[in-house]
């Protein structure tokens, strides 16, 4: 027997498939991707639906290292940067990512990031035309989601989009709320897309309980709920400040309304929802105030999702010019911010210091979302 034949006989791929799956599922995602690139025998195994599901379940119990993707545009409006950062220390850049897609409608708006998938909406600010894109940077795969069933754009005022993951059945979902033109009542439709079936469906009998103004609305996903800022009533004036949080349960596909903190000072001129930590474990809220000596953001954290009494004011970010909403709360006293001149900084409320992260861009273009590598979309 030759040495080559001996090596083949002792190859891992001569073992039963279930044992191979069990061994490979314990490897980190990055190792599997590297293994897939150098071994011609591994792609069919790693791409097998049973394996990808097993690996996904394994990584949920012992997740890979979390990162942060910071998106920004250069000051000349030319370059769009997707920067992969380590959340430890000072958010040091480890890699620049390049989406394998050119927008058809002018702008890729970030919807969210969960379990290795990034969700975008390809649209522009002035129309309701657009479509959803899913992208897994780890394996360089993207998917253009088909159009939803609500195609009568003449009757559409605006919409909001959310994206998340349902742990119970390992399902990725996109939710889209389409608001109608009626200026008296809150007319809307709720649509849900599931990756496993690759299809949209309208949820009959379910409507969003809160109004939202026209324009792109950011969301934060916590505890399986997509959360947006909104209004208890129908509002068309974009200058008004939201007064409530609307949550959508991705698993049970129903809504809830979460009140703002009872003790919040109501003289704010802006409020924003903020991710807490690199895994968005808690719901955080920022309230902006203009004072005689400058501006500040009061930062609140909800200790138990949906429980109004669990809101706690944890820190204050103060500076003479600080109108851009915070990007991320690293913990109760460190907040990732963007200054008016486009500098990305980390504010430490205990030390009252701002650490310049040596990243400059268009001030209001910045976005920060958590990211953990996975094999999602590998079967596509």
CATH of the domain at 241: 2.40.128
* 77: in domain: no
* 343: in domain: no
pLDDT tens per residue, range 162-189: 999 998 888 999 999 998 887 777 788 9
Within this chain, do residues 228 and 106 fall inside the same structural domain, yes or no?
yes
Domain coverage including residue 218: 99-257
> For residue 59, what pLDDT is reported?
66
> For residue 312, what pLDDT is reported?
97
Number of domains in the chain: 2
> For residue 283, what pLDDT is reported?
95
* 161: in domain: yes
8 Å CB contact between 361 and 345: no
Residue 328's nearest CA partner among 92, 68, 64 is 68
> For residue 7, what pLDDT is reported?
47
Low-confidence ranges of the chain (pLDDT < 50): 1, 4-10
8 Å CB contact between 44 and 69: no
* 367: in domain: no
> For residue 43, what pLDDT is reported?
52
> For residue 64, what pLDDT is reported?
62
Within this chain, do residues 217 and 141 fall inside the same structural domain, yes or no?
yes
Q: Cite the DSSP H helix spans in the chain.
A: 3-9, 17-25, 29-38, 42-46, 49-61
Within this chain, do residues 108 and 227 fall inside the same structural domain, yes or no?
yes
Within this chain, do residues 34 and 164 fall inside the same structural domain, yes or no?
no
Within this chain, do residues 110 and 50 fall inside the same structural domain, yes or no?
no
- CB within 8 Å of 321: residues ≥ 6 apart: 294, 295, 339, 340
Within this chain, do residues 53 and 108 fall inside the same structural domain, yes or no?
no
Within this chain, do residues 7 and 140 fall inside the same structural domain, yes or no?
no
Handedness of CA 325, 327, 333, 334 (dihedral sign): negative
CA–CA gap between residue 31 and residue 54 (Å, rounded): 16
Within this chain, do residues 135 and 214 fall inside the same structural domain, yes or no?
yes
Q: What is the DSSP letter of 181?
A: S
> For residue 33, what pLDDT is reported?
63
pTM above 0.85, yes or no: yes
| Domain end residue (candidates: 15, 40, 61) | 61
* 90: in domain: no
> For residue 5, what pLDDT is reported?
47
* 158: in domain: yes
> For residue 6, what pLDDT is reported?
47
Within this chain, do residues 120 and 55 fall inside the same structural domain, yes or no?
no
Within this chain, do residues 39 and 167 fall inside the same structural domain, yes or no?
no
CA–CA gap between residue 169 and residue 251 (Å, rounded): 9
* 46: in domain: yes
Locus of tokens 């349960």: 249
Sheet with strand 220-222: strands edge to edge: 220-222, 225-230, 244-249, 254-258
Within this chain, do residues 39 and 111 fall inside the same structural domain, yes or no?
no
> For residue 104, what pLDDT is reported?
74
Within this chain, do residues 161 and 241 fall inside the same structural domain, yes or no?
yes
| Domain end residue (candidates: 239, 257, 275) | 257
| 3-state SS assignment for residue 264 | coil
CA–CA gap between residue 68 and residue 80 (Å, rounded): 16
* 69: in domain: no
8 Å CB contact between 14 and 8: yes
């Amino acid at each position: 027997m030759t040495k080559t034949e001996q090596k083949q006989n002792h190859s891992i791929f001569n073992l039963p498939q279930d044992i191979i799956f069990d061994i490979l599922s314990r490897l980190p995602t990055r190792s599997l991707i590297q293994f897939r690139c150098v071994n011609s025998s591994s792609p069919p195994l790693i791409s097998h639906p049973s394996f990808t599901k097993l690996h996904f379940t394994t990584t949920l119990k012992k997740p890979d290292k979390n990162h942060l993707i910071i998106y920004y545009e250069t000051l000349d409006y030319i370059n769009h940067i997707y920067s992969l950062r380590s959340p430890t220390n000072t958010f040091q850049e480890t890699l620049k990512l390049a989406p394998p897609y050119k927008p058809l409608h002018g702008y890729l708006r970030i919807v969210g990031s969960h379990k290795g998938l990034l969700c975008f909406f390809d649209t522009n600010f002035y129309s309701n035309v657009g479509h959803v894109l899913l992208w897994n940077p780890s394996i360089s795969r993207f998917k253009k989601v088909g159009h939803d069933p609500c195609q009568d754009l003449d009757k559409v005022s605006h919409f909001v989009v959310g994206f998340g993951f349902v742990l119970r059945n390992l399902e990725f979902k996109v939710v889209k709320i389409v608001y109608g033109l009626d200026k008296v009542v809150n007319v809307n439709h709720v649509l849900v897309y599931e990756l496993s079936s690759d299809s949209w469906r309208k949820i009959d009998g379910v409507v969003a309980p809160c109004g939202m103004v026209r324009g792109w609305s950011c969301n934060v996903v916590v505890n399986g709920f997509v959360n947006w800022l909104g209004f208890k009533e129908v509002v068309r004036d974009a200058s008004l400040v939201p007064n409530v949080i609307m949550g959508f349960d991705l698993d049970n596909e129903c809504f809830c309304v979460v009140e703002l903190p009872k003790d919040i000072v109501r003289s704010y001129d802006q409020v924003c929802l903020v991710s807490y930590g690199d895994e968005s474990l808690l719901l955080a809220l920022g309230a902006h105030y203009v004072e005689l000596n400058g501006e500040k953001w009061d930062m609140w954290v909800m200790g138990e999702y949906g429980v109004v009494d669990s809101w706690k004011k944890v820190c204050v970010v103060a500076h003479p010019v600080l109108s851009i909403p915070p990007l991320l709360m690293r913990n109760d006293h460190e907040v990732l911010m963007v200054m008016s001149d486009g500098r990305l900084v980390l504010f430490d409320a205990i030390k009252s210091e701002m650490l310049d992260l040596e990243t400059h861009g268009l001030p209001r273009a910045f976005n920060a979302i958590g990211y953990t590598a996975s094999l999602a979309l590998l079967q596509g």
